[in-house]
Structure 1
Amino acid sequence: MDEGNIVVQDGDGSASVNGVEKRVPEGDGVSFSSHKEEDGDEPVALKRQIGLVGCIAFVVGTVIGSGIFISPKGVLQNTGSVGLSLVVWVACGLLSTIGALCYAELGTCITKSGGDFTYILESFGAVPAFLRVWTLLVAVRTASFAVLVITAATYLIQPLFDDCGVPTSVIQLLGATLLAAVFCLNSVSVAWSNRVQIIFSVAKVLGLVIIIVSGVVLMVQGNVENLRDGFTPAIEVSASNIPLAFYSGLFAYSGWQFLPSFTEEIINPARNIPIGIVVSMTIITGVYIMANLAYFVVLTPAELLASEAVALTFAERVLGPWSVIISLAVAMSCIGSLNGALFSFARILMVSSREGVMPQVLGMIHINYKSPLPAAVVSFPIVIAMLMSPDINTLINYLSFTRWLFISIAVASIPYFRWKYPDMPRPFKVPIILPIIFIICALFVVGVSIYSSPVDVGIGAAITVAGVPVYFFFVWWENKPVWFTDAMDSLTCFLQRFLYIAPGAKKTD
Structure 2
Amino acid sequence: MGTSQETSGENGAKSEDGAVYLKKKITLVRAISLTIGTIIGSGIFISPKGVLKNSGNIGLSLLIWLASGILSMCGALSYADLGTSIKKSGGHYIYLLETLGPVPAFLRLWAEFVMIRPANIAVVSLAFGRYIIEPLYVPCSAPPIVVKLISAMGIAFIIALNCWSVSWSANLQTLFTALKLVAIGLIIVPGMMALARGRTENFQDAFDTSSLALDKIPLAFYSGMFAFGGWFYVTFVTEEIINPERNIPITVIVSLIVVTICYLLTNVAYYTVLTTTEVLTSEAVAMSYADRILHQISPVISILVAMSCFGALNGGIFASSRMLFVASREGYWPNLFAMIHIKRHTPLPALLLMMPLVFLMIGIGDLYGLLNFYSFSRWLFMGLVAFGLIIHRRKYPDLPRPFKVPLIIPIIFSTMCLFIVGMSLYSDPVNTGIGCLITLSGLPVYYLTIHKQQLPWRMREIFDFLTLKMQVLMEVIPQEIKTY
- Flag whether TM exceeds 0.5 (same fold): yes
Q: Which of 144, 149, 156 is 2:125 aligned to?
A: 149
Are 2:56 and 1:80 aligned? yes
Q: Verify: 1:223 aligned to 2:189, yes or no.
A: no
Work out whether 1:408 is the aligned partner of 2:348: no
C-alpha distance after superposition, 1:135-182 (max 9, x if no partner): 111111112212222221221122123335544443333323211221
Question: How far off is 1:123 after superposition?
Answer: 1.5
| Alpha-carbon distance between aligned partners in 2 of 1:440 and 1:383, rounded to the nearest angstrom | 31
Instruction: Please state if 1:179 is matched with 2:172.
Output: no
2:114 to 138, 144, 152: 138
CA distance in 1 between counterparts of 2:374 and 2:14 reads: 42
Match of 1:440 in 2: 415
SS in 2 for 1:478: helix
Aligned residue runs from structure 1 range 147-296, under 5 A: 147-233=123-209, 235-296=210-271
Q: Which amino acid aligns with 1:479?
A: Q
Q: Give the aligned partner of residue 128 of structure 1.
A: 104
Q: TM-score, normalized by length of structure 2?
A: 0.92
Return the letter of the residue paired with 2:51. Answer: V
Alignment deviations for residues 75-98 of structure 1 (CA, whole Å, 9 cap, x no partner): 223333322221211111100011
- Structure 1 residues 350-369: aligned runs within 5 Å: 350-369=325-344
Residue 394 of structure 1 and its aligned partner are, at CA, apart by: 4.4
Query: In structure 2, how many angstroms separate the alpha carbons of the residues matched to 1:479 and 1:219?
Result: 68
Q: Distance in 2 between matches of 1:484 and 1:35?
A: 34
Q: How does 1:11-30 map to 2 (within 5 A)?
A: none
State whether residues 208 and 291 of structure 1, in contact with CA within 8 Å, keep that contact through their aligned partners in structure 2.
Answer: yes
Rounded to whole Å, the distance in 2 between the matches of 1:180 and 1:120 is 31
What amino acid is the match of 2:113?
L
Distance 1:332 1:459, change over 3 A: same
| Structure 1: runs of 5 or more not aligned | 4-33
For 1:422 and 1:344, locate their aligned partners in 2 and report how far apart those are by CA, in whole Å. 30
Is 1:472 aligned to 2:472, yes or no?
Answer: no
Correspondent of 1:109 among 66, 85, 90: 85
Q: In the alignment, is the contact (CA less than 8 A) between 2:129 and 2:147 conserved in 1?
A: yes
* 1:188 Cα offset (Å): 2.5
Find the residue that maps to 1:365 and give its secondary structure. Answer: strand
Q: What do the CA deviations read for 1:37-79 (whole angstroms, capped 9, x no partner)?
A: xxx5242111111111221122212111221112222222333
- After the TM superposition, which of the residue ranges 380-389 and 197-206 deviates more from structure 2? 380-389
1:349-428 aligned within 5 A = 349-389=324-364, 391=366, 394=369, 396-428=371-403
* 8 Å contact from structure 1 (residues 98, 435) kept in 2: yes
Per-residue CA distance 1:348-401 (angstroms, 9 max, x = gap):
000000011111100001112222111112212332333333557645533321
Question: What does 1:487-506 align with in structure 2 at a 5 Å threshold?
Answer: 487-505=462-480
Give the equivalent residue in structure 2 for 1:347. 322
Matches of 2:273 and 2:338, distance apart in 1: 50
Residue identity matched to 1:493: L
Q: Are residues 1:449 and 2:386 paired?
A: no
Q: TM-score, with normalisation over the residues of structure 1? A: 0.88
CA contact (8 A) 1:397 1:456 kept: yes
Looking at structure 1, the residues matched to 233 and 451 of structure 2 have their Cα atoms a distance apart, in angstroms, of 27
How many Å separate the matches in 1 of 2:444 and 2:61?
Answer: 43
Counterpart of 1:299? 274
1:46 and 2:22 are equivalent in the alignment: yes
Which stretches of structure 1, 4 residues or more, deviate above 6 A after TM superposition? none
* Cα distance change on mapping 1:165 and 1:442 into 2, 3 Å: closer
Which of 22, 34, 56 is the matching residue for 2:32? 56
* Amino acid in structure 1 at the alignment position of 2:156: A
Amino acid at match of 1:190: V
Out of 42, 45, 48, the position equivalent to 1:66 is 42
Report the Cα distance in structure 2 between the residues aligned to 1:41 and 1:506, rounded to whole angstroms.
11
- Matching of residue 97 in structure 1 with residue 51 in structure 2: no
Greater CA deviation, 497-506 or 444-453?
497-506
Cα distance, 1:385–1:455 mapped onto 2, change above 3 Å: closer
CA contact 1:365–1:501 (8 Å) conserved in 2? yes
AA at the equivalent of 1:481: P
Contact 1:50–1:194, Cα closer than 8 Å, also in 2: no
> Structure 1 residues 333, 372: closer, same or farther in 2, change over 3 A?
same
1:506 to partner: Cα distance? 5.5
Please list every run of 5 or more consecutive structure 2 residues that lacks an aligned counterpart in the other structure. Answer: 1-6, 8-12
CA pair 499-241 structure 1, distance change in 2 beyond 3 A: closer
Q: 1:88 to 1:393 in 2, by over 3 A?
A: closer
Which runs of structure 2 are paired with 1:296-335 in the superposition (5 Å)?
296-335=271-310
**TM-superposition CA deviations, 1:257-291 (whole Å, max 9, x none):** 22201101111111111111111101110000000
Cα deviation, 1:299-320, whole Å, max 9, x if unaligned, reads 2223323323221111100011
Q: Relative to total residues, which structure has the larger helix share, 1 or 2?
A: 2
**Letter paired with 1:94:** I
Identical aligned residues as a percent: 46
Aligned residues: 473
Mapped contact 1:143–1:392 kept (Cα < 8 A): no
Letter in 1 for 2:387: A
Cα distance in 1 for partners of 2:428, 2:207 equals 28
> RMSD in angstroms over aligned alpha carbons?
2.1
Provide the C-alpha distance between the structure 2 equivalents of 1:491 and 1:311, rounded to a whole number of angstroms. 48
Check whether the contact 1:386–1:392 (CA below 8 A) recurs between aligned residues: no
More displaced, 454-463 or 97-106? 454-463
Cα distance change, pair 445–376 in 1 and its aligned pair in 2 (3 A) = same
Give the counterpart letter for 1:259 in structure 2. V
Within 1, Cα distance between the matches of 2:428 and 2:345? 44
